[in-house]
Chains A and B, each alone.
Chain A
């Protein structure tokens, strides 16, 4: 990982999985390097999803890649953060065909705009939907309901 040096930050190892982050515009370079490098060889995309952190100003949305080197059986987690006002992230679908639908799903639920994606439209929700339901500002149930007062039990 010397190639990127200081540009890769946030090294952690929660529950044994090496996790790091970088600037969001570097995601394709990093993924391509992880894919091509003979020693690293992270050529299998296990998972791609997003997480919404409404309180982290300027990096509200995290896009999380889980990659797997099947030969050495090593997994890593790579995160990039983007502002919610301009959630533009380069698509990884040219590198991993698997990313195509996973990015569509991420767009569908979080509104992450994957630049260069061949067919970025909603996948599980209806096309007419005008919001991104997994963002934290959307409550699960109608908050005006009075018949389900769960105040005592810590529900929100």
Chain B
């Protein structure tokens, strides 16, 4: 460390400057704190403090029936809530041994890939904001709106969706939902292309991101990185390929990988993943259209013990009313079991470690939150870089406070 200032002997001041980045700093894009030790403009060390929005989800989950846990998962990575919802429902289905119909799988895939796009577009456009290009963010936000309108058509809510049921969806997709999906499929690719043209070979953007906050594949694995951040370092690990769920094996798509693990590679990997998600959505939509007759109306598995009956039956039929009551009050016991089930969340492997003891609520439920695990590498990623690089590294990791804290 070079000395910029000559301090008199016995002086209590230090050569470095301590600054607080967060917990409510606009550049952190979430509630978490970094205590950064600066030498001039160079980061000497960064110490993270998390837990500002800790909501004790794991404790609450030990006292709640499965459907009451779904809204908790919404609030993990709230930029892609349906992924978390389906991740939880898929965990329950695996525990209960429920096999979902193909149409449900494909509809889920459409929604999951839409959420992936909505998550990545936020992350990538925020990287743009933090490097000084604000308009990309405002421009892409319109398209997230289109995605949210699709969610709204399916489940009635937008951000924290609480979407789906164990075994499928609460109702079939309406024609309007498909119309909105078609609109998105038509309007989104040209917008993303424009966004790419603005950033990918932009000299200023490249200078700002190449070589910033890099991590080697080996370190990334040791740090438990998953998702786009791991793939940017050159490891082609994706849960969708390694442990297929929801019939991902029926789809043809590639896993983009980077090589240096720096901000630019993370940006490119997310960008390419959005294109791949678009491919998956097209294929899934095609497959959904191919169902004929009664099959084309299927939107849930036949599991009366866990799938809430139709509302109109609840009002008119005794049996449906009983099932509704039992499920809502959590009177149906979960079988004894222990399962780890994971899906490819927008930030990486979102895992649910569920232990049940035959009661109505889990005995223990642990969320493997990718954000929480890879944020610990932040200090190593930013050491020796500039303060402005530390900001852009933070946004390119896509740290979501809800997922950090659970």
Q: Give residues in A with beta carbon < 8 Å to B.
A: 14-15, 17, 19, 43-47, 49, 51-52, 64, 66, 70, 73, 75, 77, 96-98, 100-102, 105, 109, 122-126, 133-134, 138, 140, 153-156
Contact = CB atoms under 8 A, between A and B. Distances in A.
A15 B366 contact: no
A70 B360 contact: no
A45 B377 CA distance: 15
Contacts of B340: 15, 17, 46-47, 66, 75, 77
Contacts of A140: 59-60, 62-63
Interface stretch (B9-17, B168-176, B205-213, B349-357): B349-357
B51 to A, nearest CB: 4
Contact of A47 (B63, B219, B366): B366
Given A17-B340, A155-B63, A125 B54 contact: yes
A88 to B, nearest CB: 21
A140 B361 CA distance: 13
Contact of B349 (A46, A105, A122, A153): A46
Contact of B330 (A45, A66, A97, A153): A153
Contact of B351 (A19, A47, A134): A47
Interface in B358-396: 360, 363-364, 366, 368, 372-373, 375-377
Nearest to B218: A43
B403 interface: no
Contacts of B235: 70
Interface string B280-298: 0000000000000000000
Contacts of A155: 63
Contacts of A75: 340
A156 B94 contact: no
Contact of B243 (A45, A73, A97, A102): A73
Question: 7 tightest CB-CB pairs across the interface, nearest first?
Answer: A98-B224, A124-B51, A124-B54, A49-B366, A15-B339, A47-B368, A14-B338
A14 B337 contact: yes
A139 to B, nearest CB: 9
B353 A66 contact: yes
Contacts of B51: 122-126
Contacts of A51: 355, 363-364
18 contacts: A14-B339, A15-B340, A43-B221, A47-B351, A47-B366, A51-B364, A64-B353, A66-B340, A66-B353, A70-B242, A73-B242, A77-B340, A109-B58, A124-B54, A133-B56, A140-B62, A154-B329, A154-B331
